[in-house]
Amino acid sequence: MAYWLIKSEPDTWSWDEQVKSGTKGTSWTGVRNHAAKLNLMRMKKGDRCFFYHSNEGKEIVGIAEVIKEHYLDPSDKTGKFVAVDVKAKDPLKTPVTLAQVKTEAKLKNMALIKLSRLSVQPVTDAEWMTVCKLGGVKA
């Protein structure tokens, strides 16, 4: 299983809304960046994603699961970009903030810091374990 991190501005789509959408989940649309698109296309059903709030909060708040692999993003008129479906899985007991990620030696190479503008990022196994530990959930 692979691990990812997906970003959303809580004003647009928050973790709470993701939770409310329940087990049927929601489509993760609106990605308009080719690097992010490639990551979406690599996602497999059952993969886990950290759900990160950008701008407001700036913290990893929960874990989502991929429930449908990539398909054409219906919100993209050019037909170039793709979406996946995700559902909320577990909230973190303690959100892991960007500040924590920056100070934690094991996390300082995370794409979240290195590629701060990329909205869909890969997460390594080691990074996943570390964030889960900080967040008070089991990996």
| Residue ranges binding DNA (CB under 7 A) | 7, 9, 32-35, 54-55, 58, 98-99, 102, 115-119
Residue-by-residue DSSP string for 53-113 = ETTTT-EEEEEEEEEEEEEE-TT-TTS--EEEEEEEEEEEEEEEEHHHHHH-GGGTT-HHH
How near is the Cβ of 137 to DNA at its closest, in Å? 21
Sign of the dihedral defined by the CA atoms of residues 137, 54, 123, 111, in that order: negative
Measured from the CB atom, is 1 or 38 closer to DNA?
38
How near is the Cβ of 135 to DNA at its closest, in Å? 17
Measured from the CB atom, is 1 or 115 closer to DNA?
115
Measured from the CB atom, is 19 or 35 closer to DNA?
35
How near is the Cβ of 22 to DNA at its closest, in Å? 25
Task: Please report where in the chains the tokens 């809580």 appear, as a residue.
Answer: 10
